[in-house]
Amino acid sequence: MKPKKLKKRIQQLEKRLREDSEKLDRLKRRLQQAENAKALKAARKSAARATASVGMKSPGSTAGEKKPKRKLNLSPERRAQLSAAMKARWAAKRAADGNSATSSDQNSPAPPTQPPEN
């Protein structure tokens, strides 16, 4: 290769390396900013929680309060499956309660019956 061509190629390579290093530096700065923003957001969130808990009543009173129910993202098939399982569980529980109630009634002495008044 001619020296002029070699010089030109060297300059192009140096230029590309400079640009790549600048791009790398830019990406590193962007990553650092994102991490800083995330840490700042977490700090704000924890501070907000701390101030919210200070304003609340005693910890025992929160046990009585109900949390809002979370809506489940279920398909209709899964919802039907869970419904059937719960109904079966409740039926078994009612049957068990019914059996224990009749067995306890049999063990207890029968109350004396009074003759009807005419």
Say if 62 falls within a structural domain.
no
Say if 61 falls within a structural domain.
no
Give this prediction's pTM.
0.36
Domain hosting residue 6, numbered range: 1-53
Domain count across the chain? 1
Say if 59 falls within a structural domain.
no
- For residue 92, the model assigns a pLDDT of 95
- For residue 50, the model assigns a pLDDT of 84
Say if 3 falls within a structural domain.
yes
Across residues 20-27, what is the average pLDDT?
87
Residue pLDDT, tens place only, 28-45: 899 999 999 999 999 998
Residue pLDDT, tens place only, 53-109: 776 655 555 556 678 888 878 899 999 999 999 999 999 999 998 877 655 555 555
Say if 104 falls within a structural domain.
no
Say if 109 falls within a structural domain.
no
Across residues 7-19, what is the average pLDDT?
90
Instruction: Identify the sign of the CA torsion 90, 91, 96, 99.
Output: positive
C-alpha to C-alpha distance for 34 and 44, rounded to whole angstroms:
15
C-alpha to C-alpha distance for 26 and 32, rounded to whole angstroms:
10
